[in-house]
Amino acid sequence: MDSQIESLYTERGVEGVRPRFAYPLIRLAHTGPLTIRELADSLDRSHSAMSQTISAMRREGLVETEPGADARTRRIILTDRGRDLVPFLEAEWRATEAAVAELDDEVPHPLSAVVTELERALARRSMRDRILSHLEGSLPGPAPRP
């Protein structure tokens, strides 16, 4: 789905924007400058993932940083280009949500329900633990460190 959304961006003349940029750009437009930690927390993402996203958005000229409250923090702010894209990204976000709802009506297991159930299953037992249980005894060499 992301590649198709990205192709829609390209068709509309929106270059260098990935679907994963939309929600952070929209959030910054509505809240004003935030630190990476604040932005990550507000979007329920890891600091590491948000840091990588911010770096990519900075390379595309969508955001820049300014000094934060202390020397250790930087606040993320929208550039004019980033701000100009927000109305389109909000419209695309609403259209994507409508398309997902349409898909949910067409398939026997709604996407949103599947994602919720996957999250619950992974909360009960992580993907790492599941993989490790299948690896035990199948790899030659020393045992893994605890």
Looking at residue 110, its pLDDT comes to 83
Output the six-digit token pair for 70: 């202390």
Looking at residue 103, its pLDDT comes to 87
Pick the CATH number of 2-106 from 1.10.10.10, 3.40.50.2000, 2.20.28.90, 3.90.1150.10: 1.10.10.10
Say which amino acid occupies 81: R
Q: Write the CB contacts of 45 (distance below 8 Å, at least 6 apart in sequence).
A: 53
Looking at residue 124, its pLDDT comes to 95
Q: Where are the domains of the chain?
A: 2-106, 108-137
Nearest to 28 by CA among 66, 90, 83: 83
Looking at residue 27, its pLDDT comes to 98
Rounded Cα distance, 21 and 130, in Å: 31
Which residues in the chain come in under a pLDDT of 50?
A: none
Tens digits of per-residue pLDDT, 85-100? 999 999 999 999 999 8
- pTM here is 0.77
